[in-house]
Amino acid sequence: MGNEWVDFGAVKAAVSLAAVLRFYAVDGLRARRPGQLEGRCPIHRGTRVDAFQVSLTKNVFHCFACQMHGNVLDFVAAMERCSVREAARRLAHRFSVSAPPAVVTAGAGGGEKGNWLGKNEGGNRPLSFTLRGVDGSHSYLRDRGIGPETAAGFGVGFYPGRGLMSGRVVIPIHDPRGQLVAYAGRSLDGAPPKYRLPAGFLKSQVLFNFHRAAGWDQQTVIVVEGYFDCLKVHQAGFPSVVALLGTALSRLPEQLLLERFPRVILMLDGDGSGRKATERIAGRLAGRCEVRRAAVPADKQPDQLNGEEIRRLLTDAGLEEM
């Protein structure tokens, strides 16, 4: 059951945030205006009576105290401390959501469009296990500016157990459907290898965080280079963000971007290789989607910026806060 396929779109279309709030018996919310509610946050159980805000028309929520936000899947994941995929699976069972097989349509060039929805093209098989005892409050994450809510939402933390990832900060990696396919292990002191991945893992076939970004009702996606860049941009209030895990855009990640998002903001590192990659990728995407650039300062990368600096750069690139 853990590896069964779940249609995120079907679950979000079938299950309203209002229904989920009733399921968790969240009470005390009051109407701010038609279709909008506010009250105490049921996720971190805060005391502010205006921190937790819900849009019933858009089916999204935001807590201005703990900074958790998102759609119905994100809400369940936060409430139950599970992955977004697991949240979708639980909702599908609880609300008897069934989805038809993914539809494959012909692309403009005669090839298949949308077939990433119907099969795992990346070649990275779903894992049959999850790591236990991951500590999302580790000082390494605090030192890099990653808050506990962000760490919990992404499942990131220090792994003290045995095995390949022992003694490293682990970062779960998912395929487009939200299935866990690998962990990346970051060394705490930068000792090589800085990032450890399982043997045979196809990093070039991964667009990190795509399964979450695609679940948002957004037409724009922000593209960064690395895991921590992605975490910091998400934490700054822009959840529609993905990471290339490098400076190259391979065929499958390119296909995912083009099929889901009509607008791309490139926010790669401000060093020479990042700027060259920005121009190279912008050239590949030109004429196929709208491309904008967020000008990261020279010799900086997004994970080294604070939230206000990230918001300013993205605003300058023409993006309103999501």
Pull the structure tokens for residue 49.
């009576």
- Statement to judge: residues 295 and 231 lie in one domain: yes
> 236: domain CATH number?
3.40.1360.10
Q: Residue 150 falls within a domain, yes or no?
A: yes
167-176 residues labelled b (16+ CB within 10 A) or e (exposed): ebbbbbbbbb
User: In the prediction, which pLDDT does 289 show?
Assistant: 95
Cβ atoms of 210 and 249 within 8 Å: the answer is no
* Structural domain count, the chain: 3
Identify whether residues 195 and 224 lie together within a single domain: no
**Same structural domain, 270 and 223:** yes
Last residue of a domain, which of 202, 227, 255?
Answer: 202
CATH of the domain at 64: 3.90.580.10
Domain that holds residue 286: 210-316
Q: Are residues 309 and 216 in the same domain?
A: yes
Regions of the chain where pLDDT drops below 70: 1-6, 98-122, 321-322
Instruction: State residue 321's pLDDT score.
Output: 56
122, part of any domain = no
Contact (CB, 8 A) for 6 and 178? yes
Residue 228 lies in a domain: yes
Angstrom distance (rounded) from CA 168 to CA 191: 11
| pLDDT, position 6 | 66
22 and 65 in one domain?
A: yes
219 and 311 assigned to the same domain: yes
Is 43 inside any structural domain? yes
| pLDDT tens digits along 149-168 | 999 999 999 999 999 999 99
Query: Helix axis angle, 72-80 relative to 84-94, nearest 10°?
Result: 100
Query: Same domain, yes or no, for 228 and 307?
Result: yes
Same-domain status, 233 and 309: yes
Predicted confidence at residue 315, as pLDDT, reads 94
Statement to judge: residues 177 and 224 lie in one domain: no
63 assigned to some structural domain: yes
pLDDT at 13: 83
Q: Is residue 114 situated within a structural domain?
A: no
Out of 58, 74, 94, a domain closes at 94
H/E stretch holding 37 reads: strand 36-39
Q: Can you read off the two tokens belonging to residue 89?
A: 């699976």
Pure H helices in the chain: 8-14, 17-23, 72-80, 84-94, 139-143, 148-154, 210-213, 227-235, 251-260, 272-285, 307-316
Residues 27 and 83 in one domain: yes
What is the DSSP track for 243-285? E-SSS---HHHHHHHHHH-SEEEE---SSHHHHHHHHHHHHHH
Instruction: Return all residues near 316 (Cβ < 8 A) that are at least 6 apart.
Output: 294, 295
**pLDDT for position 120:** 41
pLDDT tens-digit readout, 109-132: 333 333 333 334 447 889 989 999
Among 243, 253, 237, CA closest to 319: 237
Residue 134 counted as domain residue: no
